[in-house]
Amino acid sequence: MSVAVALFTRDLRVHDNPALTAAARAADQVVPLFVVDEALVPDRCPPNRAHFLAAALAELDTALRDRGGALVVRRGSVIDEVARVVDETGATSVHLADDVSYYSGKRERALRERLGGAVHCHAGSVTATSTELAPSTGRDHFAVFTPYFRRWIEVHRRSPLPVPRALSVPSVGSDPVPTGSDLSSGEPSPELTVGGETTARALLDDWLDGPIDHYARDNDDLGADATSRLSAHLHFGCLSPTEVVRRVDATTEGGLAFARQLAWRDFHHQVLAARPDAAWSDYRRRAPLGPADDRVFADWRDGRTGYPIVDAAMRQLRAEGWLPGRARLIAASFLTKSLRQDWRLGARHFLHWLVDADVANNQLNWQWAAGTGTDTRPNRVLNPVRQADRYDPDGTYVRRWLPELAHLPGARIHRPWRENVDPATYPEPIIDCVGR
C-alpha cells in the first residue's frame, strides 16, 4: 500500500483542498496530519486564535471521520514530526498548501532540506498567484491596488475540487485533537466566534443567500454589522478563497464590492510574498513619527481616548476578537496619524487579539493606515468625529459598546465633551482632533 501525507497548516477543510486532493490521488492511503508546533504553545499562542483553531481542528477531524479517515495530531517540531510520520508509514510524498509568511517559507525550506523531492506545495491560500498575475512592468509585484484589481477580476480560476469520497488512513499514533486550553494559557474573548469548516460553510451559504446584496451600500455602516464575518474562516482555510470567489456573482453590485475586498486579501499576500520584510519594516519610508508615548498608547489600547468611536472599536476588539474593517481603519489611523505612534505597536496589539490575525493582512493594512504602505494618499488623516458622523450616524455602534454613554441621543454620543459627562464616567479627549 502506498502512503502520502497531507500536512494541514492554514487549510483546515476537506472541500476544495488541493493538498489533500493531491495526497489522495498520489497514494492508496493518506495521513491527514496536523502538527501542534511546540515552539508556540501554550505561551506564545494568542488565546482567541488558539480556541478558534481547536474548534476548527475538531470539525476537520469529524469531516475526515465521515469519510473513513481521522485527523492525526502530533506535537513537537513540525519538521521532526513530519519526518517521523514519513518514517513510520513509509510515505513517499508530503503535500501542503503554499503560504507567504516568513515562517511558512522557512518551514517549507526546512521540509525540503529534510525530505527532498517528496515535498509538494499546492497553490490554495489565495485565488490568484503571483505567477498568474504578474505586472506587465516587469516588477515582482503590484504596489498599487487598482491596477491589480483590474487584472485580478479577469483571472480565470479553476473549478473547486471535489471532496475526497473515501479516505484510508494507515495505522499511526496520534495525540488527541487539542482543546483551546491545550494550545494557549490565556483566556479568550467572551464573545469569540466558533471556528470550523461546517460552521464556515453555513455562514457562507447564508451570506450569499441575501446579505451580500446590500454589501456595497452597507459594508461601512458600523451599526448595521453588515459584513460577512468570514475573515477568520478564510485565515485558517476553513473556506477555500477560490471557492468563495467562484461562488460570488460579481455581475451584481454587492457581489462586485465583496469580490473587491477578497482581492485586497490576495493583493496583500502578493506584496508580502515579494517583500517579506514588510511584516515589520516600513514598506515605504515616511516622515518621522512623534516621540513614543506609553501613556497615549495605553489609552488607545484600553479604549480611553475620549473619542467614542475609537474606544468602542477597542472594546469590541477585546470582547469579540474581531472588528469590522471600518472600525479597524479608524482605530489604526487614530493611533498612527492622530497620536503619531509607530504602527508596529498597534499591529502587535491587533495580532494578539484578532481571531483572523494574519501577517499579510494585518501588517499591510496597518502600513496602509499609517501611510508607510500602499496607500496612494499616504498623508490622509481620518478625523475620528467625522468618521463617526459618517459611518455611525445615529450612534448605534458606539451605544452598543459604550453603555456609559448610551443615554446620549443620536449623533450627540460622538461628542460627549459637549454633554457635561463626568470624566470619571467617560474620559475627556486625550488630544484635540476637532478644534473644540
Task: Check the annotation: does 93 bind a ligand.
Answer: no
Smallest separation, CB 259 to ligand FAD (Å): 9
Smallest separation, CB 327 to ligand FAD (Å): 8
Smallest separation, CB 194 to ligand FAD (Å): 15
Task: Decide whether 350 or 426 has the Cβ nearer to ligand FAD.
Answer: 350
Smallest separation, CB 343 to ligand FAD (Å): 8
Task: Decide whether 161 or 382 has the Cβ nearer to ligand FAD.
Answer: 382
Task: Check the annotation: does 258 bind a ligand.
Answer: yes
| Lookup: cell for 232 | 477568520
- How far apart (Å, rounded) are the C-alpha atoms in residues 381 and 336? 9
Task: Check the annotation: does 92 bind a ligand.
Answer: no
Q: Which residues contact 372 (CB under 8 A, 6 or more apart)?
A: 282, 283, 284, 285, 286, 343, 378
Task: Check the annotation: does 28 bind a ligand.
Answer: no
Smallest separation, CB 154 to ligand FAD (Å): 19
- Residue 12 Cα distances to 19, 333, 348, 370, 392, angstroms: 11, 33, 25, 33, 36
Task: Check the annotation: does 174 bind a ligand.
Answer: no
Task: Decide whether 24 or 279 has the Cβ nearer to ligand FAD.
Answer: 279
Give yes or no for a contact between 174 and 31, defined as CB atoms under 8 angstroms apart.
no
Task: Decide whether 27 or 330 has the Cβ nearer to ligand FAD.
Answer: 330
H or E element at residue 294: helix 294-301
- How far apart (Å, rounded) are the C-alpha atoms in residues 224 and 255? 18
Task: Decide whether 63 or 262 has the Cβ nearer to ligand FAD.
Answer: 262
H or E element at residue 37: strand 29-37
Task: Check the annotation: does 228 bind a ligand.
Answer: yes
| Lookup: cell for 17 | 483542498
Peptide bond into 42 cis (omega under 30): yes
Which residues make up the interface to ligand FAD (CB under 6 A)?
A: 219, 227-231, 234-235, 261-262, 264-265, 268, 324-325, 328-329, 332, 350, 354, 356-358, 361-362, 365-366, 369
Feature table: binding site for FAD: 215, 227-231, 258, 356-358
Feature table: binding site: 215, 227-231, 258, 356-358
